[in-house]
Amino acid sequence: MSERIKTPRGTFDVLGEAALARAALEGTARGILERAGYERIETPTFEATALFARGVGESTDVVQKEMYTFDDGGGDSITLRPEGTAPVCRAYLEHGMHKLPQPVKLWYLSSFFRAERPQHGRYRQFWQIGAEAIGSDDPAVDAETILLLAEILEAIGVQARLRLSSLGTPDTRAEYKTELQAYLRAHEHALSGDVRDRIDLNPLRAFDADHAGTRQVMEGAPRLLDRLTDEDREHFEIVKALLDGAGLTYEIDTALVRGLDYYTRTVFEFTSDALGSQSGVGGGGRYDGLIEQIGGPHTPGMGWAAGVERMLLASPRQPVAPPPVDLYVAYAKPEYREEAFRLAADARRAGHATRLELGGRSLKGQLKQADRAGARYVAILGDEGTSLKDMESGEQKTVEPGTVMHHIRGTL
Ligand code: HAM
């Protein structure tokens, strides 16, 4: 026998109960987002590499180390999408969505790809549910999107902490970056090699470090939140007031940095202790400069994405019932197969969830299958004609061939 081929590292199959639990979660999220006026968007699985290099940022881990990038065979560089915000902004521009009433509110449920070291809750192909509201800088957009993710997490029983901060404008950030770099250089001896190497490129990541010495240095580091302009501060104050009014609790986390470069002003993350080291269930923020970065006019935007696998891992296990079966069509001998086939097809066309015996089982075996599937009715085609068994009452009666549908209609 030749060697068996398995799923690639960091990927997984979705089946059985896990597929049912996933579908239930997706249905809950879809309901909450669509009731809030978000419309579904799907973008291609791969995009021009430049979209992510420019949108997500050259200095980020995602772009530097985690992208699946390859030549499309014609000399163009393409990349399996590592995230959804840049693609949605690309679509907003490409379809002239600025002509629609603003903000344009879009949601997605897609798989994403990052060549990370796999671990519990961290995969190379993973799914996100995401929401983006593009075209308005109203702080109510920030508060509303955050509230929607909170609502989804609550609906699926995930207990998560909300961490909130503001990164201000790119100018404030640039000034702050210089200040932070000077601070880091003054404490260079105590920093980890990794952080030291990135002082020039991405000093903000120092807040993310696990290294004890670095963490100690960062406790005394200047905070961006103390450097915001009056306008940004006011924006943030309104976001907080709206969240307070909605009764949502949050912690201000001055050290909150997100792994993607496009954020401006509000940033947030929901974390769950149920997840271990990969505690981020979902997060996002405002990205008022992103559309300009990818070649469009200045257009504000705000959104988030939550990992489907992490939401499932963090939510209490609730067995999800498989979809009900209305009718199971069994037959006593192979010569009744054709009639059984026809009856099953007719029943499905009439909208009944119907199963047909396909495994060549004995009649006894078929009835066992019907019972296992939880079928409400079983039609048995045999020498004595057609009989219909009501599995709920146990009652069985002979019916005229062709009247099965008539008998079950109205009782399901
Ligand atoms: P992100 O924080 O990189 O943000 O990812 C969002 C969520 O996706 C994470 O909180 C986590 O639940 C999940 N996730 C990320 N990487 C992995 C992985 N390797 N395996 C499993 N789950 C993962 C974004 O992607 C932004 N586009 C969010 C956003 C939308 N910001 C504004 N709009």
Backbone dihedral angles phi then psi of residue 324, each to the nearest 5 degrees? -70, 155
> What is the identity of the amino acid at 408?
I
Q: What is the pLDDT of residue 113?
A: 98
- Each residue's pLDDT, cut to its tens digit, for the chain (412 residues) gives 899 999 999 999 999 999 999 999 999 999 999 999 999 999 999 999 999 999 998 888 899 999 999 999 999 999 999 999 999 999 999 999 999 999 999 999 999 999 999 999 999 999 999 999 999 999 999 999 999 999 999 999 999 999 999 999 988 988 999 999 999 999 999 999 999 998 998 788 898 888 999 999 999 999 999 999 999 999 999 999 999 999 999 999 988 878 888 999 999 999 999 888 888 999 999 999 999 999 999 999 999 999 999 999 999 988 888 889 999 999 999 999 999 999 999 999 999 999 998 988 999 999 999 999 999 999 999 999 999 999 999 999 999 878 998 888 877 7
Within 10 angstroms of residue 189's Cβ, the number of other Cβ atoms is 8
DSSP state of 118: P
Strand-strand pairing, 39-40 and 396-399: unpaired
Q: Which atom of ligand 1 is nearest to the CA of 124?
A: 19
Q: What is the pLDDT of residue 402?
A: 83
Q: Is the CB of 122 under 6 A from ligand 1?
A: yes
Q: Ligand 1: distance of its center to the CA of 403 in Å?
A: 54
Contact present, 130 and 303 (Cβ < 8 Å)? yes
pLDDT tens digit sequence for 370-395: 999 999 999 999 999 999 999 999 99
Q: CB under 8 Å to 154, separation ≥6 — which residues?
A: none
Site to substitute for ligand 1 among 119, 310, 312, most atoms within 8 A of C-beta: 310
Within 10 angstroms of residue 293's Cβ, the number of other Cβ atoms is 18
Q: What is the pLDDT of residue 271?
A: 96
Q: Ligand 1: distance of its center to the CA of 61 in Å?
A: 13
Verdict on whether the full-model pTM lies above 0.95: no
Q: What is the pLDDT of residue 170?
A: 86
Distances (CA, A) of 82 to 46, 138, 145: 9, 28, 21
Q: Ligand 1: distance of its center to the CA of 30 in Å?
A: 18
Structure tokens at 129: 């549910």
Report how far Cα 115 is from the mean position of its chain's Cα atoms.
18
Q: What is the pLDDT of residue 173?
A: 86
Q: What angle (nearest 5°) sits at the alpha carbon of residue 51, between those of residues 46 and 56?
A: 110
Q: Which residue has the tokens 């020039």?
A: 200
Q: What is the pLDDT of residue 10?
A: 98
pLDDT tens digit sequence for 113-123: 999 999 999 99
For residues 214, 217, 218 and 219, what is the CA-based torsion angle, rounded to 10 degrees? 130
| Helix spans in 324-403 (H) | 337-349, 363-372
Q: Ligand 1: distance of its center to the CA of 306 in Å?
A: 6
> E strand or H helix at 79, and its extent?
strand 77-80
Q: What is the pLDDT of residue 365?
A: 95
Q: Ligand 1: distance of its center to the CA of 56 in Å?
A: 12
Backbone dihedral angles phi then psi of residue 64, each to the nearest 5 degrees? -70, -40
Q: Is the CB of 57 under 6 A from ligand 1?
A: no
